[in-house]
Amino acid sequence: MSHYKHLFFDMDKTVTPARQPLLPEMAALLSSLSEEVIIVSGGERQRIASQLGSLRRFTLAQNGSHGFDCADNELWYDPLEDHHRNEIMEHIEKLIAALDHEIGHDYLPIEDRGAQITFSPVGNNAPHEIKSMYDPEAKLRLDLLSRIPLESDEVVVKIGGSTSFDYIHKTRHKGTGVTRLIDLQGWNRDDCVYFGDGLFPGGNDESVIGVIETIPVVDHLDTYERLRAMFK
């Protein structure tokens, strides 16, 4: 049996398929655990809820900038300011100009979620089969950022999901959100663990490294098997 009491998860490609509902077997497994479940996602609260349904969990939306308890009571919210948005949109325009294809205009390529802006070259709402084939190893996006870095004192961009660039405030990321919830709840960090598919350099889970123990996963199927092994 695992010694962990508080289980933190990224959502897309960690607990669920990208932008897809929680699979029944994962829902059953997570619901069977006595440990706290905490979802830390780049998505908005409404989208997280639509994918996870009735699963009991804490929610740290928009990369930790919008926190909710298990009863869906808001704990905190730290939105971006207008000058942040201006910097972000200027950078997105540079990325679009460097693409070798048209952006997915029909599938909402740019989402302003309040505390985060997400840009997907193929569209945030593109069909799963399109998104899964676009940049599965994040090489295209990492190459774009190496050629066109974001120069800002307050905003950073991370690789998120299967096709996204996630723009957030540099002090309001998943690592600070996880820390904030642990401190607020009075939990012991040694009792906490984080599962994520974006723990690589530049990934949107990277900021959790050093905060609590982290476990890199390939996808939601990998997470499921690891949980079964840990809590059997």
pLDDT tens digits for range 40-71: 999 999 999 999 999 999 999 999 999 999 99
Alpha helices in 67-215 (DSSP H): 82-98, 128-134, 139-147, 174-185
Reported confidence tier of residue 18, pLDDT bands at 50, 70, 90: confident
Given this model, what pLDDT does residue 69 score?
98
Give me Rg for the CA atoms of the chain.
17
Delineate the domains of the chain, giving CATH numbers in brackets.
6-78+172-230 (3.40.50.1000), 82-169 (3.30.1240.20)
State the Cα–Cα distance between residues 2 and 108, nearest whole angstrom. Answer: 41
Q: How many CB atoms lie within 10 A of CB 226?
A: 14
Assessment of whether the complete model's pTM goes beyond 0.85: yes
Written as six digits, the tokens of 174 are 């998943």
Given this model, what pLDDT does residue 12 score?
94
pLDDT tens digits for range 74-111: 999 999 999 999 999 999 999 999 999 999 999 999 99
